[in-house]
Homo-oligomer: A and B are copies of this chain.
Amino acid sequence: MNNFADRLTAAILAKQSQVCVGLDPRLDRMPPSLVERYREVPRKGCGCGRHEIGACFEEFGAAIIDAVAPHAVAIKLQLACFEQYGPPGIKAFKHLCKRAAKAGLMVIADAKRGDIGISAAAYSAAFIGRPQGFDGEIDGFNADALTVNPLFGSDGMQPFIDDCEKYGAGIFVLVKTSNPGSADLQDLKFQEKVAVLVDQWGQGLIGESGYSSVGAVIGATHPETLATLRQALPHTPFLLPGYGVQGAGAADVAPAIDFRGLGALVTASRSIIYAGAGEDFARSAAEAAERMHVELWQASRG
């Protein structure tokens, strides 16, 4: 089974869960005792603490991954949080991609990349394809899927679509983001255009599950948009941010999910990973993920 949508479908059905946990590590939100421990470590390099912050993110992320693995189908790693710490941040990201895969979770790189020509091809290679080495292809980050910004249009998307086919990977295209400012440019006409393109881009990648490896990111904070787009895009898996802290609940996302429980991954970040701030933060995260798991599965079956 080498179609992303088919692998996603199998994972959702096996775990009876549409939960995707967003891993957005922030120094000022992580358990103080954990941060304190890394602050005291002798510092590598220039002494600014970048290496130790990377190591701290690895420990935090690994604990969260192990805690939520029974309840979640996927982990979504926010690149921005890692990139700001330079090479050690990227090292932590890479390590956590591997760790999540080992824990049986699908890995979504939430990098919102997009460009044209060789730059688009290089981003695709980095996250879901295979970069060029001295003697042929080498490993990139090997994520299962990547979030992609569609602004550049069809030729900018093509390298990502090609890698989905070649490597059994997936992409989630930004159609309507969860923030209030999304109205500035992602108006109704823009969303309709992107929706038509997402459908086209995904046509060649529909698996036996009936879903395509080209998915769409749609803010769960726009339930009316969700229902409209579900009808317009019957083959498109949705990635729905905005659950929990941003205000959307199980009833808001239910219209995006089909009668089999398929068609959407619902992501929550802060409400899960920062559910507890003590030594037992991982247990708090596990409990929050379990609650979300049960709420969602019930609402989607209701």
Contact = CB atoms under 8 A, between A and B. Distances in A.
A66 to B, nearest CB: 24
A94 B87 contact: yes
A60 to B, nearest CB: 14
Number of copies: 2
A120 B78 CA distance: 11
Contacts of A294: none
Interface string A125-140: 1100001111100111
A290 interface: no
A153 B183 contact: yes
B179 A134 contact: no
A44 B287 CA distance: 42
Interface in A170-211: 174, 177-186, 189-190, 193-194, 197
B81 A122 contact: yes
A112 interface: yes
Interface stretch (A3-11, A24-32, A67-75, A222-230): A24-32
A283 interface: no
A123 interface: yes
Interface string A67-111: 000000000001011011111101100100000000000000010
Contacts of A125: 84
Contact of A84 (B122, B177, B181, B183): B122
A149 B83 CA distance: 17
A278 interface: no
A119 interface: yes
9 contacts: A39-B135, A49-B133, A83-B122, A90-B90, A149-B149, A149-B151, A151-B177, A155-B179, A156-B181
